[in-house]
Amino acid sequence: MNYKDLPKIELHLPLDCSLSFDVVQKIDPTISLKEYNESFIAPSKCTDLADYIQRAVKGYELMQTKEQLRWVTDDLFKQLDDDNVIYAEIRFAPLLHTLKGLSPEQAVETVNHTVDECIQKYNIEAGIILCTLRHFNEQQSSETVQLVKKYRGSHVVGFDIAADEAGFPIDNHIRAFHFAKEHNINCTAHVGEAKGPESVWETLRHFHPSRIGHGVRSAEDERLLSFLKEKNIHLEVCPTSNIQVNVFEKIEDHSADMIYNFGISMSLNTDARTISDVTLTDEYNLMERVFHWKKSHFLRCNLEAIDHSFASDGIKEKLKSQIEKGYSSI
């Protein structure tokens, strides 16, 4: 079937990894299509996660003014509209957008205001997740989570930790996640991608997230799978990027189908629309082709995504109605 026609929810979507060639050209007309393909899009196989996320640098380097942030945000909504995504949680690290004089607050306010405009313009609901990064120091991590608290009540809905899981310990970020827990801030965390189950256990113990970005290597530990199911912790699964960063050798080895059949709450996501050169429709087609997933699998994933989103109850009810209506009519 044509999965492009189905309404979709996307919870794992980095802003600086999702620049189309059109917006890159708008910001810097000297960048050719050849350079874009080589510098912004990762090969089908990277050395590891650190190699893969080097492409994100090209993205955030072009997102250093209010105008550039507005353009990139609007460009992403165009992509979501084309992919029939009706709700997205867009994440970015405000501290990365200060190279030309913007303050982290100005970066958040600019993206927040543009998201507000785009919700009306494209009729797509959205939230913003602010990210700390593994290589940040304790002060930077604390500054980021305090921004989440400061802008609570706007479109800012949560806190995340991203970047090189294998390269940096969690020590610098424990304080920030304790702050988040004390202030009832919604949390997700990139983990269980570049490292195995022990990394997921560590993150659950110290960060207490309600969702996990990736988490696919949890499949290596049945006790961990049982814990995730019991605690109803949601996994934001991104199949294509996991193959690119060598979490699995090939898509047939991916744990997504096993995680789904174990009964763990999960959703499908692109991770990085530009770096992986993928849409959510592509991911659905991939799961159908390799694991013989059907419409019922995608319906469950979307309903789980709504339940575990950081949206308000009112928006959740609206989205659930849209998903159920969309799936019953096709």
151-200 pLDDT, tens digit per residue, is 999 999 999 999 988 889 999 999 999 999 999 999 999 999 989 999 99
Average pLDDT over residues 67-75: 98
Q: What is the pLDDT of residue 157?
A: 98
* 317 noted as active-site residue: no
Check: CB of residue 186 under 8 Å from CB of residue 210: yes
- Whether the predicted model's global pTM rises above the 0.85 cut: yes
Q: What is the pLDDT of residue 129?
A: 98
The 3 state secondary structure assigned to 117-129 is HHHHHHCCEEEEE
Q: Which of 52, 109, 50 is nearest to 117 (CA)?
A: 109
Q: Measured between alpha carbons, how far is 197 from 181 in angstroms, rounded to an integer?
A: 23
Strand-pair partners of 266: 235
Q: Measured between alpha carbons, how far is 59 from 173 in angstroms, rounded to an integer?
A: 24
Residue 56 clears pLDDT 90, i.e. is over it: no
Whose tokens are 């530009």? That residue is: 274
User: Among residues 193, 236, 283, 304, which one is catalytic?
Assistant: 193
Q: Measured between alpha carbons, how far is 129 from 127 in angstroms, rounded to an integer?
A: 7
As a whole number of Å, the CA-based R_g of the chain is 18
Using 50, 70 and 90 to split pLDDT, how confident is the model at 12?
very high
Q: Which CATH superfamily is domain 3-328 in?
A: Metal-dependent hydrolases (3.20.20.140)
SS3 131: strand
Average pLDDT over residues 250-274: 98
Residues 6+ apart with CB under 8 A from 122: 77, 78, 80, 81
Q: Measured between alpha carbons, how far is 245 from 214 in angstroms, rounded to an integer?
A: 12
Q: Measured between alpha carbons, how far is 291 from 85 in angstroms, rounded to an integer?
A: 23
Q: Measured between alpha carbons, how far is 190 from 162 in angstroms, rounded to an integer?
A: 5
Q: Measured between alpha carbons, how far is 186 from 309 in angstroms, rounded to an integer?
A: 9
Average pLDDT over residues 61-70: 98
Q: What is the pLDDT of residue 323?
A: 98
Residue 202: phi and psi, rounded to 5, are -60, -45
pLDDT, the chain, mean? 97
